Amino acid sequence: MKKTTFIQDENAIFLKGNIHSHSCNSDGSLTPKEMKEAYKHHGYDFLAVTDHNFYSDTRKLSEYNFTMVQGFELYANASNDHDIHVNFLWADSIDGIKPNSKVALPERSGKVSIPFCYDLRKKGAYVMLNHPHWSKLKTPEIEDNNPYDAIEIINYATEWLERTGDGTVFWTEMLHRGLKFWNGGDDDNHNHQDLDSMYSDSFGGFTVVKARNRSAEAIIEAMKCGSFYTSEGPSIYDFYVEGNEVHVLCSPCERIFVCGEFRCFQRKFGRHLTEYVTKLVGKEHMVRCEVMDARGRSAWSNPIYLDEEYYSKGSKEND
Ligand SMILES: [Zn+2]
Ligand SMILES: [Zn+2]
């Protein structure tokens, strides 16, 4: 039987989006409408405006070929030396979150924010832990309190500003500890520079969902079941396990990695590679792939969990 995180529906389509961004309703420079126009003209299919502790209602900006996903970014102090920032995304509305208003937060405390995250997740929000490296988080504190669907592994703005936007090591360590997390990639753009400036923080990291249709509901459904990949450039057209064979199909790349745990890495190097078929080593609890193009830009699949028992310890509160 074929195992994959991609939705198996013959009508499903790939949609490119930015799931983390800031408008002038918090500390960004552009209005939500200007941001929508910019991303639409750069070939994106959807955008989430996720202002700091403020819900910018963008539902009316959705149109036939461009979808606005709803959300905000929680900004909470975990302690004096690090922060917790969390993205909440949803399709239409979430109980208790008022449109175009500040979000009523318990307190600016990381510990208090954890029940808040569980609560919104239960109400239907998709919950992503943002930029763990920038926030100076340590993996054990997340292992103890894990209300998240995903970890942001590519944050283009913090990578530009401080070289702290790469969360891949944090993410893979959590996977190796037996915790289930999808990945996530986006711009976290604030647009203090012009959009066409070489210092623009837009159009660097993105998420491509495979969804049943273009609606915000279908995009959130795809994200919750891991039917997407994160990218800086390349495309992953398919990634699946059939029997003990692993299959990767991608846009032309120079390196394709199939990754499990310790010493379960396999690779294929060459020019214009678009496919890699290999066999499982046999010790993997999960398997995922990463592809890298000639410019050194990567795309990451989500993990396919092969050993549900190993990953059961990472189950979330009341799941
Ligand atoms: Zn943040
Ligand atoms: Zn942000």
The pLDDT tens digits along the chain (319 residues) read 899 999 999 999 999 999 999 999 999 999 999 999 999 999 999 999 999 999 999 999 999 999 999 999 998 766 667 788 999 999 999 999 999 999 987 665 556 678 889 999 999 999 999 999 999 888 877 877 789 999 999 999 999 889 999 999 999 999 998 999 999 999 999 999 999 999 999 999 999 999 999 999 999 999 999 999 999 999 999 999 999 999 999 999 999 999 998 778 899 999 999 999 999 999 999 999 999 999 999 999 999 999 989 988 655 554 4
Starting from the CA of residue 131, give the closest ligand.
1
pLDDT for the residue 317: 59
**CA of 303 relative to ligand 1 center, distance in Å:** 24
Provide the 3-class DSSP secondary structure of residue 270. Answer: strand
Name the phi and psi angles at 169, rounded to 5: -70, -40
User: Which of 271, 270, 183, 274 has the alpha carbon at shortest distance from 236?
Assistant: 274
**CA of 160 relative to ligand 2 center, distance in Å:** 13
Starting from the CA of residue 27, give the closest ligand.
2
**In the 8-state DSSP scheme, what is residue 315?**
P
Starting from the CA of residue 22, give the closest ligand.
2
**CA of 62 relative to ligand 2 center, distance in Å:** 21
Starting from the CA of residue 83, give the closest ligand.
1
**CA of 29 relative to ligand 2 center, distance in Å:** 13
Tokens linked to 98: 């008022």
Tokens linked to 205: 């990291």
Residues β-bridged to residue 211: 13
Domains parsed from the chain with CATH numbers: 2-231 (3.20.20.140)
**CA of 87 relative to ligand 1 center, distance in Å:** 8
**CA of 129 relative to ligand 1 center, distance in Å:** 9
pLDDT for the residue 264: 81
Residues β-bridged to residue 17: 46, 207
**CA of 85 relative to ligand 1 center, distance in Å:** 5
pLDDT for the residue 107: 63
